[in-house]
Copies of this chain bind each other. A is one copy, B any other.
Amino acid sequence: MAKDITLFWGSGSPPCWRVMIALEEKGLQGYNHKLLSFEKQEHKSKEVLDINPRGQLPAFKHGNNIVNESYAACLYLESQFRAQGTPLMLDRPEEQALMYQRMFESQTLQQKLTDVLFYNWRVPEAERHESALQRNKEALKTELQLWEQHLQKGPYLAGKSFSLADVIGFPAIAFAFRFGLSKDRYPQLDQYYTLLKDRPSIKASWPPHWQENPQGMDTLKEF
């Protein structure tokens, strides 16, 4: 079945990473994939645009079914391969409620990380304001503190079991540590990160340029 699957991806992109973790967890190793370079603008190439008219990665196809949005691809994979690999959907109502809640709160965490870490990349020089960046930093700090509280009821994002919430949320948390988040100030986040980073699905999909250069930047050191 994995032979019917094609993924175009970029190294270190949380949306791509999510889909790759889901593929690993569902036992779909051996899918077709191609690593593309954002720097070389390969995400705007014809082979990507043929699948994803937005020219974004991931570009994902299962048979003739195209599912480029990363949340969509994770939900679709769990639904289509429910009986295979790790069950990623929690069925008990209270666990399922928390799973869905954390899945979508992860978007806010990812957005707030992006608003700080890629501020200069996203905002043209003439439109940058120190006041805006400061506000983004404050918002990110508040968000990280919220997640530190969330994880007091761990060990996973939705409680006792690994689930779609982790498939989707882990890359954001890994991103924070890659950019120097303090393990001492965020012990729950660190414990979560440490628990998951050697999980086979996550290890197998670890961003190659993070492997080559294990030392990230320290933008979040003071957070």
Contact of A129 among B96, B104, B127, B131 (CB under 8 A): B127
How far apart are A15's CB and chain B's nearest CB, in angstroms? 10
How far apart are A5's CB and chain B's nearest CB, in angstroms? 12
Complex CA–CA separation, A53 to B108 (angstroms): 14
Residue A103 is within 8 A (CB to CB) of chain B in the complex? yes
Segment touching B, from A32-40, A58-66, A173-181: A58-66
Q: DSSP majority for the A interface?
A: helix
Complex CA–CA separation, A64 to B13 (angstroms): 35
Stoichiometry, copies per complex: 2
Given contact pairs A76-B100, A100-B69, A100-B72, A94 touches B126 in the complex (Cβ within 8 A): no
Give a binary string over A49-75; 1 marks a CB under 8 Å from any B CB, 0 the rest.
Answer: 000011000000011111111111101
Other than the given A69-B103, A69-B105, A72-B101, 18 more pairs (CB < 8 A) read: A63-B93, A65-B93, A65-B97, A66-B101, A67-B97, A67-B100, A67-B101, A68-B101, A69-B104, A72-B103, A73-B100, A79-B96, A80-B93, A80-B96, A126-B131, A127-B129, A127-B131, A127-B132
